[in-house]
Amino acid sequence: MEKLLEIAKQKVDSAEVFYTSYNDNTINFENYSVTEIKSQSQSGFCLRVIKDGFIGTSYTKNLLDRDGLVVNAIESLKGKVSGDFDFPGSYVPKKLDTYDPEIKNLSCEQVLASIKKSNNFVKNKTSGQLNSMTGFGELKTKIINSNGLDVEFKHSDYFASQSIMYPGSYAGVSTQVAAKNHQLLPEVEMMKMIDLYTKGLKEVSIKPSTIQVIFLPDVLYSLLWRLESGTNAKSIYEKTSPIKNKIGEQIFSDKLTVIDNPHLDIYPYARGFDDEGVPTQKLTVIENGVLKNFYNDLEYAAKLDVEPTGHGYKNAMWGGETVSLAPTPTLGHLTIVPGKDSFNEMIKKIKRGILVGGALGAHSGNIPNGDFSIGINPGFYIEDGEIVGRVKDGMIAGNIYDVMKRVSSIENEVHIAQGGIFPAITFEDVRFS
């Protein structure tokens, strides 16, 4: 990497070399039978160069032809992509506990045995089809640049999930665990999954109306996706955000506090620097309903003439090979501050409402404007504080800048979920059809 950087420095104003490598193993079960065991390893290098205010990029799987990699990066400068920013200089990143060396000793046989044990626990208590998956591995990232930056980190991760599927559909109830090393699915969480599944076996039909809605943690990403768009510096710069001039204003319920915290290293994927080498920070996006901050990467920090927040990640909506992606502003470590009610207390407070257990078409609607129109799959009907059955073919719709003002209850604990670490949340007066 150092040799590549030296070659590039001779021909451009500034340069950065990004390296990543990872290996992971996944095991999938369908209806208690193993359907796939897969192991993969990937590594690669990305070179970014800046010259005359423009940025160029090239990437490769190896460094057999460093000169060619530099030539390709310089050639890409012809695209005239603005690069009017500076790479960060040298510093010591925040030290985080992100790696458990025991991950190296973890075998597929051990993981198979533990997931089978968890599966048998469920099998003895319900006749529903159980699908499950688990994955584990490690990732390394190193970044150096011509301004003297030299940072690296290593992390390990372990993930396991189960879903009990309803007959004749692919809707189901799930539970999961994520850690830095091998963890069993907690029996108490599996029992919650089984209980919710059982209560949803009866199908019910209800009329379209405006009702109370509880979002389970795994579904909150469908709302927060809109908030991420609205607080993204790219949306601010392009003037597409409906909250671009509302810093310091109350935009949500005072019960809601949303934080991006990459330093929360009790969970996997904590980060001391982003994919541009910028130091990360705990960033409060919403505090008691008040909009506090936008987030950015190096490009949009420069365009808006503000300090970078350390949110430049090689990320894309539909995925892609990490080294091939350009950094973009990303909230990758979201959490919501828990409230005061247990999940059972939240259910008991509902006179007539829906518990949303899964979302279909979360990307539908005008995301930059905050609109959503989501198929609920599954959805559970609650009446007088009791779950009485499962609703098929239901949909909820609204705008987050309206709906998220009407929070009536937040669960008193958080859970690893899609998109972050969240509690369940009850919203009032949501349109259901």
139, HSE (Cβ side, Cα atoms, 13 Å): 16
* Entry pTM: 0.94
Low-confidence ranges of the chain (pLDDT < 70): 317-319
User: DSSP per residue over 214-275, as a string?
Assistant: EEPGGGTHHHHHHHHHHHBHHHHHTT--TTTT-TTSB-S-TT--EEE-TT-TTSTT--SB-T
Could you tell me if 40 and 21 are in contact, meaning their C-beta atoms sit under 8 angstroms apart? no
**Sign of the alpha-carbon dihedral angle for 61, 64, 66, 69:** negative
pLDDT digit string (tens) for 103-117? 999 999 999 999 999
pLDDT digit string (tens) for 211-240? 999 999 999 999 999 999 999 999 999 999
Residue ranges with strand state E in 90-240:
129-145, 150-165, 172-179, 203-204, 209-215
Q: What share of the chain is helix, strand, coil (3-state, %, to 5)?
A: 20, 40, 40
Give the per-residue pLDDT at 25. 95
d(CA 76, CA 73) in angstroms, rounded, equals 5
Question: Minimal CA–CA distance to 311: which of 343, 285, 346, 337?
Answer: 285
Q: How many CB atoms lie within 10 A of CB 323?
A: 21
Domains of the chain as residue ranges with CATH: 2-199 (3.30.2290.10), 203-432 (no CATH)
Give the per-residue pLDDT at 233. 98
The token pair that represents 307 in the structure block: 């300090």
Give the per-residue pLDDT at 170. 79
